[in-house]
Structure 1
Amino acid sequence: MNIPFIILIIFGLFIFLSSFFTVKQQTSVIIERFGKFLSVRTSGLQLKIPMIDRIAGRVNLKIQQLDVIIETKTKDNVFVKLKVSVQFMVIKETVYDAFYKLEYPHDQITSYVFDVVRAEVPKLKLDDVFERKDDIAIAVKRELNEAMTTYGYTIINTLVTDIDPDIQVKNAMNRINAADREKTVAEFEAEASRIRIVAKAKAEAESKRLQGQGIADQRREIARGLVESVDVLNKVGINSQEASALIVVTQHYDTLQAIGADANSNLILLPNSPQAGSDMLNNMVASFSASNQVGEMMKKNNKKVKPKTDIKPDYETPETPEATE
């Protein structure tokens, strides 16, 4: 076996093996013949003519994600960074357009995202950017779909995954949030304090009412006891005035005795001289006598004033026809 024959066999084996190639799942292969598009091959074992056909490229049919970070300004002049995640894929039926019409799809998508975000965000205030981030994502998806469908791409979804304002603005927002929460806490504490004060006032009012009722009942029983005491003294020949004076003096001395029995008491009863009881009794007797005299004088005055019962009218009653006859 000579060397040229061996070289021929090796070359033939190489040609045979290069005629076959495999395509992975979710991948398409572009075949060109002499630099011209020939066909699109899908997954599996494929055949091509060696030295004539060549693999021009492979197109990924899986869903891909591109993260784009954009810095822009809001309507209230706050600079903010947004992270937009774009999920896209090549349409299986338009692999030719995706391969030949667009060379750098990532750059193309990034440009459209920048354009849409910088057109939408400056219309919104910072708070609205957080609240309407879904609207921004929908606007980006709509614009990208209109542009990228021409190149054989479809946009699966767009997400605004991060909104990062300037650090000073972020700190100010945190202070505002903290102040608002402190305000809420103060309002709740004030309301709780008001409830406690109202409850305490109601309890004190109820206590005063019950205390007043108890005092009234006590005085009622004291009055009933005084009436019974006066009745007992009247039965032994002591009139009502003398009995009342005797009871008052007795209570005066009982009070002095109760005050003196408490060693820690700092209460002083005035007057507290030895002749205070007799002076009180004399004053009461004098006041009773004066009140009796006043009552007698009022009775005499009432007797002198007599009511006029025979008042005649200042006109005469006309006679009737029967009386004139």
Structure 2
Amino acid sequence: MITTILSIFLVFIGFIILISGIFTVKQQTAAILERFGKFRRISNSGLHFKIPIIDQIAGRINLKVQQLDVLVETKTKDDVFVKLKVSVQFQVIRDRVYDAFYKLENSHDQITSYVFDVVRAEVPKMKLDDVFERKDDIAIAVKRELNEAMQEYGYDIIKTLVTDIDPDIQVKAAMNRINASEREKVAAEYEAEAERIKIVAKARAEAESKRLQGQGIADQRREIARGLEESVDVLNNVGINSQEASALIVVTQHYDTLQSLGEETQSNLILLPNSPQTGSDMLNNMIASFTASNQIGEAMKKDNALKEQKRKERIENKRKKDRESNEPKDDQEGEERF
């Protein structure tokens, strides 16, 4: 009985030892195997065997592309504090798993230190606006520095990205105000330009309207003058002279105006003077005015004719004097020739 129990115990112990000699490694992972604390080999993905108790798995390394986000606070050239978020994508080199495991204790801390060093060396050389515009230059500088440093430890830097730039809250508020002011300025310029276009279009429309209105008035007056001319010709044919015809036409128009005003029931226009003898007075005044203007015109014609006659006499007298002054000279020259 005791022998049976002992046998079962030994079989169980042997099974446990056998099982401990089998291990698996996941895909994109490498296992470091040590024997009595000394590096033995590197096992890649799959099923593997080791000597139980003697061989030990010292650790496993992830071979996938990893990302580390580093938040760095620094100061720009124009004394503005800004926070930069730098994302570093890195991977262990398959041929250098030994260096990655044994040479570097903590890869994340090492990468973070280099990122801080590079960012705080590059950003203080730039102004805040340049940091936004040249963030790719910062990322390239970080990658170059990390590659030079981490290659020695078996790490490959795939890519570095500056994913966020966060200035101080007061600086952001000031930048937002500047941006808003610039946009308001542009909006005001567009509004002013639109208003100018409206004013120009309105002025052109008014100018065209005035031109057409003036042309209409000119055509109207031309037709009125033609009608008056025809009316005067008709009256002259019946023995009425031009002055009397003009006076008669004006009086007729006066009464036509009164008639048109009377037809308007809601008109507030009052024509002064407006008495029964207004038409007669107007006709007499116009005839008297025409007579006076004719007399003044005749007097002016006589005066102009007199002035023209005197001017011609002065010119003739001057010519006579010039001829008389030239005759002695001719006689003297003849005597000298003789």
How does the TM-score come out when normalised to structure 1? 0.89
Q: Distance in 1 between matches of 2:206 and 2:142?
A: 68
Q: Could you say which residue in structure 1 is the equivalent of 2:118?
A: 116
Q: Distance in 1 between matches of 2:132 and 2:305?
A: 99
Q: Distance in 1 between matches of 2:200 and 2:176?
A: 36
Q: Give the SS at the match of 2:158.
A: strand
Q: Distance in 1 between matches of 2:70 and 2:304?
A: 113
Q: Distance in 1 between matches of 2:301 and 2:166?
A: 102
Using the TM superposition, name which of 15-24 and 53-62 deviates more. 15-24
Q: Could you say which residue in structure 2 is the equivalent of 1:78?
A: 80
Distance 1:28 1:280, change over 3 A: same
Gaps of 5+ in 2: 332-338
Matched, 1:59 2:68: no
Aligned AA for 1:116?
Answer: V
* Structure with the larger helix share: 2
Shift of the alpha carbon at 1:318? Answer: 7.8
Q: Distance in 2 between matches of 1:280 and 1:274?
A: 11
Q: Could you say which residue in structure 2 is the equivalent of 1:198?
A: 200
Distance 1:235 1:199, change over 3 A: same
Q: Could you say which residue in structure 2 is the equivalent of 1:255?
A: 257
Q: Give the SS at the match of 1:186.
A: helix
Q: Distance in 1 between matches of 2:303 and 2:233?
A: 32
Using the TM superposition, name which of 183-192 and 232-241 deviates more. 183-192
Aligned residue runs from structure 1 range 223-302, under 5 A: 223-301=225-303
Q: Give the SS at the match of 2:84.
A: strand
Instruction: Please give the root-mean-square deviation of Cα atoms over the aligned residues, in Å.
Output: 2.6
Q: Distance in 2 between matches of 1:69 and 1:303?
A: 110
Q: Distance in 2 between matches of 1:188 and 1:23?
A: 68
Aligned AA for 2:174?
Answer: A
Shift of the alpha carbon at 1:303? Answer: 4.9
Q: Distance in 2 between matches of 1:127 and 1:276?
A: 88
Q: Distance in 2 between matches of 1:287 and 1:279?
A: 12
Q: Distance in 2 between matches of 1:192 and 1:56?
A: 77
**What is the aligned-residue identity percentage?**
75
After superposition, give the CA deviation of every residue in 1:198-245 in whole Å (9 maximum; x if it has no partner).
111111111111111111111111111111111111111100111011
Using the TM superposition, name which of 246-255 and 99-108 deviates more. 246-255
Q: Could you say which residue in structure 1 is the equivalent of 2:100?
A: 98
Using the TM superposition, name which of 98-107 and 18-27 deviates more. 18-27
Aligned AA for 1:217?
Answer: D
Q: Could you say which residue in structure 2 is the equivalent of 1:29?
A: 31
Gaps of 5+ in 1: 320-325
Q: Could you say which residue in structure 1 is the equivalent of 2:133?
A: 131
1:217 to 216, 219, 242: 219
Shift of the alpha carbon at 1:83? Answer: 1.6
Shift of the alpha carbon at 1:121? Answer: 1.9
Q: Could you say which residue in structure 1 is the equivalent of 2:334?
A: none
Aligned AA for 1:124?
Answer: M
After superposition, give the CA deviation of every residue in 1:82-113 in whole Å (9 maximum; x if it has no partner).
22111111000111110000011111111111
